[in-house]
Structure 1
């Protein structure tokens, strides 16, 4: 009998070559998608953490630009602390913008570093390209990977740095991984100069040198205690700028989180579709071979061995599909990870990809699930009764069920007699094969929802200017950043803005580091309330005027009001109307929370205040280094930018909002477009495969009926068109449901990932014409699949179809 089982299994494989090939491809794609997502998720954070540890990366970066502390004194204090590694005190000069290959690259803020003697200690540099040495040679610089890869800068290229006078031209001798300033989408970079070049070429420029230093704690969670001791011993809190570890790490991780989440979700969906399809195929294979199975059982073939024929068939298909799927997943995940964390990659060593063991487990799990699914559905063969099989070609109950379905009141209400023949045949095909119709409906729904989600996410990032405020940015037409504060002629600049008739209004924004903690409730026993060091934005003017948005409430308007980021609100368990304590320059101020906002920068670990509120505790505060400018006519923005840059180029960098956002988010769109497009193609292909396979099964079952149609004079193409029109109508319904899911449901799931990064409401742009066009791709795929599957009707003669 085992010989019979093997013979039957091989005959099933040979009999339906195309259908089996498509099922194998479906299993392969399921394996590829789920295993790739598993590897990406496994590596999210690991690659950054490994490089951060390898370079002894800093947890905090202190910059001294405001003249509020003696850098040497602060550096000496931190060097005297135990449990903290401290970098050398590094000198730098700020510049803005470069010229590369005769093309200006604006909105690039550069810390031109006076290269210290190696080793640096904290934030060691790793050479990605170029020859490793103790420092740049004279006339050359080292640039970070984030700056080089985003702007196609290679070793040997010459870069012109904007100094406000003649460009400072230097040759790139090496590209280095600089972890704290090397994240994707950043517009700030450290450029490492030869010390002699720095002394000759930069100290001659107007403006004072600035300093920075990095701190790495043995226990980062204990850093608050160090800062409390700093305040106590030096008599003042730290008043300069401080970059936190969360801000350093967030942009390294967020893209992989998005891609991994989307892929694991869609991979699980595809796996479920694969299992349902296999179950449906087995059910219909049993139905199609009902007489054969009945005859074999009458000859002594047991139900267990009948099930075994299907288990061998699909076990073999799974094995030959899962193995290449796993191999391809390793290559695909490496490509995606290399794109998303390219700034951590060197030309002499590949990224250490982890998670292959987890991917193998995914493959094994998928294989087991396929076998379990086969056994579950193949059990239907046990109920095959030889007499009923020979008489009806199916069970008597199934035969009666189909007859009652076709004669039901619902079918009669459709009014088959009043419809064209083509429509009747198409509807009959759908009603008679409800399981297959349900599968195709679900499939087109999922395919269109995936395509719509990808389109919505990409179009929302590409068109981010329309929703900048909802990402935590301003919506002003122009931003002017003060690069050289000591030489900036503020009064002259403001006079130029006021006298320009093209400018509608302007205002200033500054920032400082503040400490916030919860106001203890009267009945609260625990007085150890959480404290946070946050980025505090200060605006001289109206937040609303420059387009700052909130998730709830409104931005601060009075000096006793504050708006806080969603992660600050979450950490301190604060809501609108609550009182929060803010320490500004070491002085406590109790403020009312009037708004809660989301911001992807600083992961919403930030707050907003008015300048009047800050001056309540710091009357001399005037550290406002960004001007927001609105114009009367947006078409004049570029001209205003050119005029201001020409006049104040030695101390400021002026860019339009479009330029500002493009320089940051264009890279994100470029990284996302490849995996999103690939997943969309997968689902289009899967739609074609499953609908082709399902229609072939239905056509085989209905072969007698189609033979009768042809025998009474109906052409093959007309029958095929009837089937295709019915499937297309069903796919259109699925696409409509998919549009709703892709626009309203799946973005909500994506928000669960972005929430930890400070985005609780995904800002989407809904271009309905594009959404409908993208969703129609799944309808086209379904129509092509059904048309291609019905080709067998045109090849077969009516007599062969009737005789089977």
Structure 2
């Protein structure tokens, strides 16, 4: 045993740099795999725990259209067993805030008359500020999502536009408001002092609206309650209803995307790490072939020979995995705190679960290293002392190695017609097949990761270019109505018609449709509610897209979101019965589209379809506007916003989308940068390690080259050129993997959120630039590993 241990220590001390690089590679593999494990283990935990802690709503009912009596609905639900309801909250809608003398237009606010506690549902938890029953006079409570997005702290003053004047209120509390506190949301609930509300808002023109939250003891029974509601009241619920899935979706989507990408890349990196360890062991055995042969001739058994490598890599693994686990826990906490920052209480870190899973992944990694060590070290069993001493390898391997460069493949390439430096570079690549395949695979994966990260961030930051593919319109300007009671529709319509800069406009409203169980493939006895978009205008002109078919043009046509089409088992050309405001209408499905809003649980109908049910329908929420000259969009939006600022918020499409998705890009950039950096480091480490092994194996050959007149620089450039060409081929393959293969895997995650075809923006220049990072890393790894050629004399190289 002492002999085995001493041999293991000698291997460790003799190849310090190589063993240190393998340890670093294992550390990084542990870091990525364990971090991904913790993130996946925590996906949804923080949200569900906070939802339980606040007794959060499963459904939010909003009364803005006057189609249902809020008091009657509230009383019915309050009387049900197994259901809790919030107080009937009174609010007015505002648009935009003034912060530090800067006007921020694209944030939509529900200004609430705060009721005294207890509420029973959606209890607020203070992240900062002093808890109280209601806000103090002259102050408001705002949600963490709004505070984080605009960097607002307790004590700051926010200005709210109330017609021609501005209402300034201090922030006395920042609260966790689960239903309206998701990240990258541009809608927030602001809680006012009752006296301030009565004095400053109750006298304003327009209607007050009502809202209530419903919490089910068993959420799966919600459809049973709604069936009972429809049966007992005789009046279907026709106002807006926000489902629990919509509340949860934006809390979960970022962590699921990050976790999915990290676990996939972690598995890839782990596979490469294990392959590298196996390759290193195999070549270490080959490099020490004569020594092992001599030791076996002196009585060292095969089992003890294998044991020397097991001890060596067990020590390396222990040194690498333990700090890797510690770093992974720290990094996973950092990423989780960023991605669900709206659920943090004060400066406290969000409790992280799954640490046992991270430790288990470390133990599994250690076991895999030992297993691969044994599997590859078993090659030492076949070493024959006589062949080892004579050839430095088995006689079979010696013959195969000698014949490689004389193969028809080598003649086809035409080595005899190439410069000597090129021949040397290609010889290094073709002779060391295993390391070349590993290099090709590594360059491909590193390039694909960098390209995917770049494409994802580019696609999110430039989402205005693909807005229609995410389910939004593609109009140049959007006017969001915030004061429906006094909204001067006729004046705005006349203004739009008279302005020669405007090419067309469309007026969009929303209503709720219900698909009965008889018309769908849903669970028996359950109906399906969907958000129906009602457009007075042309879907085509405003840029709404579909995956299949087209948008509706007539009163009997409808386009369905992919989630609805899948749930109801409907396709193009099918008929579907939908209840709108309690009346049954039969529609022909003309198109199927995807939309991240409402998770594709939605549909599109024309204004004619809506007016066949309600002839006086005029509840429009948004006006989409196209201009003749895109350069004029900002100016037109600014002028319209100033003219109708008391009733609507008018912004360009880019402003509207950036306010929602800029935060998503900011959250994604950190983990994607981390993954990309790790793959660049790993590429360098593996190429350095494998090239160093190969150079040591052929030290005698390079000594002969130097003795014949080649300089160390020429030899090193030749080796680096071969690695540059090989990694370039891998990088080119990586571009296609990152653009066409990895997004398919990501779509598996996003399909649950209504996106089945990920809209990507491809800037080939940027992709090539990021791909070059993997090529540079591989080339530098090869260049630095060949320093031993420069440092050794020809005589010493030949002696080795």
Same-fold status (TM-score > 0.5): yes
**1:162 aligned counterpart, secondary structure:** strand
Aligned ranges 1:91-240 → 2 under 5 Å:
91-240=90-239
Could you tell me how far apart the structure 1 residues matched to 2:516 and 2:476 are?
35
Q: Equivalent residue of 1:642, what SS?
A: helix
State the partner residue of 2:52.
Answer: 53
1:530, CA displacement in angstroms?
4.8
What CA RMSD, in Å, does the superposition of the two structures yield over aligned residues? 1.2
More off after superposition, 332-341 vs 229-238: 229-238
> 1:20 corresponds to which residue?
19
Asked whether the equivalents of residues 518 and 581 of structure 1 are also in contact (C-alpha less than 8 Å), the reply is: no
Q: Identify the match of residue 626 of structure 1 among 597, 622, 625.
A: 622
Contact 1:161 1:168 in 2 (8 A): yes
**Correspondence for 1:656:** 652
Q: Which moved more, 1:233-242 or 1:262-271?
A: 233-242
Matched with 1:411 is 410
| Distance in structure 1 (CA, Å) of the matches to 2:178 and 2:197 | 23
**1:283 aligned partner:** 282
Deviation, structure 1 residue 594: 1.1
TM-score by length of 1: 0.98
Distance 2:616 2:327 in 1: 62
Give the aligned partner of residue 582 of structure 2: 586
Take 2:172 and 2:386, find their aligned partners in 1: how far apart are those partners? 85
Which residue does 1:574 correspond to in 2?
570
Secondary structure, counterpart of 1:690 in structure 2: helix
1:414 deviation in Å? Answer: 1.6
Q: Which runs of 5+ in 1 are unaligned?
A: none
CA contact (8 A) 2:344 2:350 kept: yes
Q: Residue 607 of structure 2 aligns with which residue?
A: 611
Contact residue 478 and residue 657 of structure 1 kept, 8 A: yes
Q: Does structure 1 retain, via aligned residues, the 8 Å contact 2:531–2:598?
A: yes
Q: Does 1:790 align with 2:786?
A: yes
Cα distance in 2 for partners of 1:149, 1:723 equals: 52
Aligned twin of 2:721: 725
SS at match of 2:631: helix
1:356 corresponds in structure 2 to 355
SS of residue paired to 2:373: helix
- For residue 612 of structure 2, give the secondary structure of its aligned residue in structure 1: helix
Alignment match, 1:345: 344
Displacement of 1:226 in angstroms is: 2.0
Q: 2:795 maps to what in 1?
A: 799
Q: Is the 8 A contact 2:519 2:577 kept in 1?
A: no
> Shift in Å at residue 232 of structure 1?
2.9
The residue aligned with 1:513 is 512
Q: Is the 8 A contact 2:519 2:568 kept in 1?
A: no
Q: Deviations over 1:217-252 (max 9, x none)?
A: 112222222222222333311111111111111000
Separation in 2 of the partners of 1:556 and 1:22? 61
1:380 paired with 2:379, answer: yes
1:528 pairs with 2:524: yes
Which whole-Å CA distance do the structure 2 matches of 1:356 and 1:484 have between them? 50
CA contact (8 A) 2:517 2:524 kept: no
Higher mean C-alpha deviation, range 218-227 or range 130-139: 218-227
Secondary structure of the structure 1 residue equivalent to 2:516: strand
Alignment partners' CA distance in 2, 1:774 and 1:673: 14
The 2-side partners of 1:630 and 1:425 are apart by 63
Q: CA deviation at 1:520?
A: 5.5
State how far apart, in whole Å, the 2-side matches of 1:90 and 1:450 are.
Answer: 48
Give per-residue Cα distances to partners, 1:605-646, cap 9 Å, x unaligned. Answer: 111111111222222222112100000001111111111111
Hey, what's the Cα distance between the residues in 1 that align with 2:131 and 2:77?
30
Distance 2:189 2:749 in 1: 30
User: Is the Cα–Cα contact under 8 Å of residues 443 and 730 in structure 2 kept in the other structure?
Assistant: yes
Task: Work out whether residues 519 and 580 of structure 1, in 8 Å CA contact, stay in contact via their aligned partners in 2.
Answer: no
The residue number in structure 2 matching 1:33 is 32
Q: CA deviation at 1:576?
A: 1.2
SS in 2 for 1:784: helix
For 1:669, which of 665, 678, 689 is the aligned residue? 665
The question of whether the paired residues in 2 share the 8 Å contact of 1:530 and 1:572 is answered with no
Q: Are positions 1:432 and 2:431 aligned together?
A: yes
Contact 2:509 2:619 in 1 (8 A): yes
Which structure 2 residues correspond to residues 702-721 of structure 1 after superposition, within 5 A? 702-721=698-717
Name 2:685's counterpart in structure 1: 689
2:448 is aligned to 449
Shift of 1:69: 2.2
Structure 1 ranges of 4+ moved more than 6 A? none
What is the CA distance between 1:412 and its match in structure 2?
A: 1.4
Task: Please give the secondary structure, in 2, of the residue aligned with 1:167.
Answer: strand
Report the Cα distance in structure 1 between the residues aligned to 2:531 and 2:97, rounded to whole angstroms. Answer: 28
Q: Deviations 1:59-96 (Å, cap 9, x if unpaired)?
A: 11111111222222221111111111000011111110
Match of 1:269 in 2: 268
Residue 510 of structure 1 deviates from its aligned partner by 0.4
Q: Which of residues 634, 641, 653 in structure 1 aligns to 2:637?
A: 641
Q: Distance in 2 between matches of 1:175 and 1:419?
A: 71
Residue pairs, 1:463-502, within 5 angstroms:
463-502=462-501
More displaced, 203-212 or 322-331?
203-212
SS, match of residue 266 in structure 1: helix
**Secondary structure at the counterpart of residue 165 of structure 2:** coil
Inter-partner Cα distance in structure 2 for 1:544 and 1:338: 42
Query: Residue 391 of structure 1: CA displacement?
Result: 0.4
Q: Say which of 664, 676, 681 aligns to 1:680.
A: 676
* DSSP-derived class of the 1:567 partner: helix
Aligned to 2:404, what secondary structure does the other structure show? Answer: helix
Secondary structure of the 1:93 match is strand
Alignment check: 8 A CA contact 1:440 1:731 kept: yes
Alpha carbons 1:565, 1:606 under 8 Å: kept: yes
Whether 1:306 and 2:302 are equivalent positions in the alignment is no
CA–CA distance in structure 1, aligned partners of residues 294 and 724 of structure 2: 38
**Alignment partner of 1:249 is 2:253:** no
8 Å CA contact 1:735–1:778 kept in 2: the answer is yes
TM-score (norm 2): 0.99
Corresponding residue for residue 755 of structure 2: 759
Displacement of 1:529: 6.2
Q: CA deviation at 1:659?
A: 0.2
Q: What's the offset of the Cα at 1:519? A: 4.9
Identify unmatched segments of 5+ residues in structure 2: none
Report the Cα distance in structure 1 between the residues aligned to 2:569 and 2:274, rounded to whole angstroms. Answer: 44
Question: Aligned pair in 2 of structure 1 residues 320, 476: CA closer, same or farther (>3 Å)?
Answer: same
Structure 1: how far apart are the matches of 2:497 and 2:185?
A: 32
Contact 1:517 1:580 in 2 (8 A): no
Aligned to 2:731: 735
Note if 1:772 corresponds to 2:754.
no
Cα 1:348/1:455, change in 2 over 3 Å: closer
For the 8 Å contact 1:517–1:572, the answer to whether it is kept is: no
- Aligned residue number for residue 392 of structure 2: 393
Deviation at 1:185, TM superposition (A): 1.3
Residue in 2 that maps onto 1:294: 293
CA distance in 2: counterparts of 1:450 and 1:707, whole angstroms: 39
For the 8 Å contact 2:519–2:576, the answer to whether it is kept is no
Q: CA shift at 1:157, angstroms?
A: 0.4
Aligned to 2:556: 560
Contact 2:517 2:528 in 1 (8 A): no
What CA deviation, in whole Å up to 9, does each residue of 1:268-322 have, x standing for no partner?
0000000000000000000000000000000000000000000000011111111
In the other structure, the counterpart of 1:745 is 741
Alignment deviations for residues 387-421 of structure 1 (CA, whole Å, 9 cap, x no partner): 00110010000000111111101111222221111
Q: C-alpha separation between the residues in 2 aligned to 1:596 and 1:302? A: 69
Is the 2:446–2:734 Cα contact (8 Å) retained in structure 1?
yes
